[in-house]
Structure 1
Amino acid sequence: MKKILFVLPFLMLAFLWACDDDAEIVRMENPDPNATITSVSPQRGLVGTVVTIAGTNFGAASQLVQVYFTGVEESVPLLSCEDKELQVAVPEGAQTGPLTIVVMDQKIVTDLEFAITPDPEMASVSVQQGYASDEIVITGSNFGTTVEDVRLYSVIDGEEIEFEILSCTDTEIKAKVPAVSEFGQFDLNLSVLGRSAVNKLSFTYLEQAAITSVTVENPLIGEFVFAGDNVIVKGTGFGTVADEVEVTMGGLAATVVSCTNEEIKVQVPDGFAGGAVTVTRNNRQAVSEKELQILAPNTDISSSVLKNYKQPFAVDPDFISTIGGQHIDNWSTPAEWVVSDNVKTLSKDDYIYGGLAFDNTSNTFLCMQYSTAWAGPATKINNGKMYQVINLPKGKYKFIVNLKEAYLALNNKLEIVCVEGETMPDVGSAVETKITLGGTEYKNPFVEEIEFVVTERSSWTLGLVGNIVDSNANFKVTSVSLSYLGSE
């Protein structure tokens, strides 16, 4: 129901046009009421700020009340009109000065000035860059004190991405960095009650580092790692500057070999005993779910590094012996081994010197043998070689050779050799890591072992070299193996 206040009875007709059918007519006891202003709240504000004017005898008919701001000729619309309270919004163009209220023919000018707050202005941001959920502080002026009146945002890919406003004073805004889908430097925009700040600041949105996978580059032995191995860390938010990224493995600092935003190549440090990979960038950490493991000491690694290393040995299909055009089933050449020509069984009408031998039960042996009893022009074997070249990480190893038998009497000699590099040395070369067999009438079965140390990842040659020069001299190997004994 609309309440209409009348000053004098003879004015009743003048007010009836403003009444609804249900309007209640209230006759004032004071025959000559004067409107008064008791307060204006707030006494300062931006354009758009809602101002409450408290007083008496304003009436309830908004058509009879006008409010003027300094600098604006037109009265402003009333947001509400009650006998003791008026509400208006600061209009465009308003200037600092008193408010003027006109109630019917009565004009009242406020004693206090209403101060028009200038547009907000940002002076600084506490940090120039940050991650989602970081807190930042904007300092400046004319921010007001109402959180809901403040918008702080960046325009990213055409969309206004807003900060969460945590608190606000007239000179300081605390806000939380939003999550974004695009990273880099963007403008910070501020508005208070819809009024844009007179300036903009810049802010760099950082992508949080995250690890999605950790793998060993060219693993030698399963997924185990060794000092000096390269590990590939994939994910996001790594940046592109290697010096700006720190990587630890099991708590030990690791050398960053290369860095892109999605992939880091890092080298396993000396002393690594296993553990997770941690990437630190801009004081933020990402930790891998997967923990890398080192190989336990005294582990047989033959299946990972050696090829064709035990019975039944595989046959090299390109080197199967024939005599007189007939295939001979009990001699061939082993696949995956480097075999010198004077040991190799050739696929032509040549007589056999060794390589791979078959016994009556179809078991195969790595073999070198010479006999004057053969029906062809058999040739003595000098510096006959059978070996493999493998890449080994830093550590201590044991090379084991199992022999079924050996007949190495007189001038015959066999050397079991482990040497750095990719070349098998000749018989009698100065190699520390070797075992020399010779002068033995007959020996069976037996095992020979060589321990050696790899000081840094490198290629090593493991195998056999011998002089088989007397009739019926031979050796037969049933298997070879390699064990990792641990770090030095």
Structure 2
Amino acid sequence: MVGVLSYRAIFSITIAVLGAFLVGMSPGTSISGEIVKITTEKRVYTNPEPIYLLLTLAGLEAGYPVDIAVSLELPDGTSAFLGEGAEFSPNNPFFVVRSWPFSALRITSGTWPIRIPQDIHLAPGLYTVRADLFDSATEVLIDRSEAQFTIVDAPYLDRVEPQRGITGTVVVLAGEGFGEDEDLVKVFIGGREATIMELTDTSIRTWVPYGATTGTIKVLVDGVASNELQFQVGPYIKELSSTTLSPGSTLTIQGFNFDPDKNKNIVSFNGIRGTVTQASETKLSVLVPDGNTGPLTVTANDMTSTPIEVTITPVVESIDPPSGEAGDVVTISGRNFSPVATDNYVVFNAGSSDAFAAVVVEASTNQLIVKVPEAETGDVKVYTNGEEAQGDISFTYPPEVDSVDPQVVVAGDTI
């Protein structure tokens, strides 16, 4: 098993030939890898990493004559066979061992070097290694086992978890050949370079960068690009035409990764859905619903954007009763009030020098219970979170008598 300088590629095969035989088993009972079994240590190997295989034999009566063939199918479909010189070559005979009396044999340590001659190049691609066991007398196939492995040039991306996310989502890339020098490694997600948080030769931890769009993920190591994996990026709100909104008005949302089908975008105003009238991947037009001040989000492709706070302008519709005295309790009805009483500010005789603030006793999104202050007849204004409510309402106080002159009168006198 001495190495030869003319061979430019080597991989190793660890042999553990086990003598745990089941005496009396008849050959040819199944072709399922129960007698011969070949496996790979890994699923993906990076050039020029050595490849390790494990071959086990068990289950035949000791001394039973068998032929063994081990072959390697290359990505182009051609095959090379393992020969007596411990090398794979298309020129080797089909059987690596003929008429071997099946017997107890165990190699407990070390490796068996399998040499690859110059006429075989381990190019990137899918390889299949097979072990076939034949009856020496009849050359009938007794059992077969095969395993597949992939050879790649570094770097190689195997998978990304999760496979989708919004801006800021942390993702982990698993693969081979990334190295451990962050100065040499770059990660691109959806066309934008991502920040590397952690790096090992087989793993990269990063997050979806601003401006990334649905597309691919790839890794560059010292300028050499990996294969690419698909990655879906969720919606991102870049800008709103306004953050103070009136019900029924149109809001324009600028951003990334919206669905061009307007019906597949859900725009939520603090839990209340608005109507999307136009859509592209970077812009949405939405009719503002009656809603409450709070977070606005966009959901597309089952992913929801980071929320942005918006204010929905309140609307007043009526005051009941519309007249009364100081100390009375009235109900102001409308929309988009805050359910937190202290977030609502009510002013009687608004706009005059004699304006007075009222005490809000109770509040809901569509009603305010208010105690009438000492004021005069005039307009009533409502402010919710600092925003003046749309609509006009007023309150009438009874007339006040300051003096009577003369103070003594009879019927028919004028006072």
- TMscore range, shorter length: 0.3 to 0.5
Taking structure 2 as the reference length, the TM-score comes to 0.33
Q: Which has the larger radius of gyration?
A: 1
Taking structure 1 as the reference length, the TM-score comes to 0.29
